[in-house]
Amino acid sequence: MQPVQPGRMMDFPLTLTHFVERARTFFPKSELVSTLADKTQCRMTYGDFSSRVAKLAHALTTKLGVKPGDRVATLAFNHQPHVEAYFAIPCIGAVIHTLNLRLHPTELGYIAKHGEDVVVLCDEALLPLLEKFKNDVPSLRKVVVFSPDPQKKRTSPLPDGFLDYEELIAGEPDRFDWPALDENSAAMLCYTSGTTGNPKGVLYSHRSTVLHSLVTMARENMGVGGDDVVLPVVPMFHAAAWGIPFAAIACGAKMVFGGGHFDPVTLLDLMASERVTFSAGVPTIWIGILAALDAEPKRWDLSSMRTMVIGGSAAPPALIDGFATRYGLEVTHAWGMTETNPLGTLARVKPHLRSGSPEQLLAMRASQGFAVTFVEQRHTDETGRVLPWDGETMGELEVRGPWVAKSYFGDEGADRFTKDGWFKTGDVVTIDGEGYVRITDRSKDVVKSGGEWISSVQLENALMSHPAVLEAAVFAARHPKWDERPVAAVVLKPNRTCSEQDLAACLDGKFAKYWMPDKFLFVEQIPRTSTGKFLKSRLRELYGDVLVK
């Protein structure tokens, strides 16, 4: 499209290079704190960080021959050197490809081959995993190994042919003459978790990532700012840790990383000792954290916490309410996808709705919220007809915006993109008159009983409000008459008991009779996807026939 009357403003590219140099210029004293395997911390400043980003950029280009457009993979937990890779790789014009270390080696091999990765930067603890798939990746030339402690010399030698990250960057210049990049250049490649079919690559651009960061910094959204202490619990291999490291570096926020530790006690220790103000992760993490707080309510001082973002799957209202009423902690519920860079919607209560009853306010906070600035939302039926925002009609959520994918890397999945420029999310939702989206299901997880849809998410939320229930996942079991019927898999809290009848009673009266699960299964653990979501396809494999006599 050509402008009728061109504006007279500079054509300044929206690239990540600006963020690195901004960090060096304005925030050299801000801190980055990484947790090591032995749970001690390694501390550096943004000054050190920006020098190390430049050093890595030199090493990649001169020693490893990485060219613009090449894909450089990471196989790593959350820590500062991983953030260095987040910037050095895109800023030389190459593409960082974050490999999800929780995937099966066959899948990792597929993804790394599909991405044609030329170099991989790997945590030492993950070398055995890399070993299992690296020979499936013909393009792979070099393996660089992050040091267990960036501030100490490696004690154990690396296998032949592997390079030590610290040795690689040592001695390189601490400034880099960054190339001028087009803002639409690819910056990062993330694959969907692909519970059905092969994972698909989503190629974020500098522009999409920069715009996403600006919105993440807006008070209206997550409001990440320079006075925050940010702990992304969401892994850096899951949709760029929801873009949080980019936003934090852009504004000079102190960053804290848990490394390979995801247990509630270590995370709570970190939150308390580093005075964390902002954290983000999937509900399963927060369910564990709330249970740890309930077990020892006085142990941690979390008074510094401003907000905790929960996303990746539906945050149960009982979880949001539990944090608020028992600990005065605020949860921000957000929805997004790998395909949306990833933030799409966020549950803010609009000012004119704040006088609602506590139940109404909780219902809004527990919804998926409404689209953040520059993302647009609608929902459609199977024929593509746009549906009314009446809070009742269910349809597939579609989104569009400057950080929403317009196609997949490799062009698979073309049917997810509509002719009129929207992305089909695969989430079944209602949208109310104020624009609040409520996910009733992932389309492949929906329970279709006698042709009627039953929302597993709503049933799960109700079950998780029962005081004895830690986690609940409702899935579609095969049924001879109704085709599918809901069955609930339930994990009880330690030392708590409850019967099938108790659970049925907790749902009674809240839903239509035909929504009532036909069975409640008490299980030790609910199987998870590689990104910590309930893996319903596995529940169906395990228990899909419990109703078939």
Is 430 among the residues that bind ligand AMP (CB under 6 A)?
Answer: no
Using CB under 6 A, which of the segments 36-44, 48-56, 420-428, 512-520 binds ligand AMP?
420-428
Nearest of 179, 121, 176 to residue 150 by alpha carbon: 121
**Residue 311 or 486: which CB sits closer to ligand AMP?**
311
Is 239 among the residues that bind ligand AMP (CB under 6 A)?
Answer: yes
Say if CB 113 and CB 159 are below 8 A apart: no
- 63, 113, 448, 493: the catalytic one is 448
Which runs of E-coded beta strand occur in 416-524?
Answer: 423-431, 437-442, 447-449, 452-454, 469-479, 483-492, 519-522
Say if CB 408 and CB 432 are below 8 A apart: no
Is 425 among the residues that bind ligand AMP (CB under 6 A)?
Answer: yes
User: According to CB under 6 A, which one of 82, 424, 442, 466 is a site residue for ligand AMP?
Assistant: 442
Using CB under 6 A, which of the segments 14-22, 122-130, 334-342, 458-466 binds ligand AMP?
334-342
Is 111 among the residues that bind ligand AMP (CB under 6 A)?
Answer: no
How far apart are the C-alpha atoms of 69 and 96, rounded to whole Å? 10
- 74, 98, 192, 332: the catalytic one is 192
Is 338 among the residues that bind ligand AMP (CB under 6 A)?
Answer: yes
**Residue 81 or 235: which CB sits closer to ligand AMP?**
235
Alpha carbon distances (Å) from 171 to 59, 322, 471:
10, 51, 51
Alpha carbon distances (Å) from 431 to 347, 365, 418:
13, 14, 20
- 31, 124, 339, 396: the catalytic one is 339
Block residue for tokens 């396809």? 537
Using CB under 6 A, which of the segments 169-177, 262-270, 332-340, 536-544 binds ligand AMP?
332-340
How far apart are the C-alpha atoms of 236 and 245, rounded to whole Å? 9
Count residues near ligand AMP (CB under 6 A). Answer: 21
- What backbone phi and psi angles, to 5 degrees, belong to 376? -120, 150
Is 311 among the residues that bind ligand AMP (CB under 6 A)?
Answer: yes
Is 335 among the residues that bind ligand AMP (CB under 6 A)?
Answer: yes
Is 342 among the residues that bind ligand AMP (CB under 6 A)?
Answer: yes
**Residue 93 or 413: which CB sits closer to ligand AMP?**
413
Say if CB 336 and CB 314 are below 8 A apart: no
Q: How far is the CB of 338 from ligand AMP (least distance, A)?
A: 3
Nearest of 61, 48, 117, 56 to residue 87 by alpha carbon: 56
- 167, 266, 453, 519: the catalytic one is 453
Enter the DSSP assignment of 315: P
Q: How far is the CB of 457 from ligand AMP (least distance, A)?
A: 7
Q: How far is the CB of 62 from ligand AMP (least distance, A)?
A: 36
How far apart are the C-alpha atoms of 500 and 473, rounded to whole Å? 14
How far apart are the C-alpha atoms of 340 and 204, rounded to whole Å? 9
Query: Looking at this protein, which amino acid is placed at residue 181?
Result: L
Is 396 among the residues that bind ligand AMP (CB under 6 A)?
Answer: no
Backbone region of residue 25 per phi and psi (left: phi > 0; alpha: psi in -120 to 50; beta: other values)? alpha
Is 473 among the residues that bind ligand AMP (CB under 6 A)?
Answer: no
Site for ligand AMP in 478-537 (CB under 6 A): 531
Give the pair of three-digit tokens for residue 313: 């799957």
Is 377 among the residues that bind ligand AMP (CB under 6 A)?
Answer: no
Site for ligand AMP in 177-216 (CB under 6 A): 192-193
Using CB under 6 A, which of the segments 22-30, 77-85, 387-395, 423-431 binds ligand AMP?
423-431
Block residue for tokens 């993302």? 375
Q: How far is the CB of 368 from ligand AMP (least distance, A)?
A: 5
* Active site annotation includes 339: yes
C-alpha 472: how far from its chain's center? 21
Q: Is 153 helix (H, G, I), strand (E, B) or coil?
A: coil
Q: How far is the CB of 410 from ligand AMP (least distance, A)?
A: 17
Is 258 among the residues that bind ligand AMP (CB under 6 A)?
Answer: no
Block residue for tokens 């395990």? 542
Which runs of E-coded beta strand occur in 386-434?
Answer: 395-400, 423-431
Using CB under 6 A, which of the segments 178-186, 263-271, 290-298, 330-338 binds ligand AMP?
330-338
* Active site annotation includes 300: no
Q: Which positions are annotated as active-site residues?
A: 192, 339, 448, 453
Binding residues for ligand AMP, rule: CB under 6 A, are 192-193, 239, 311-314, 333-338, 342, 368, 425-427, 439, 442, 531
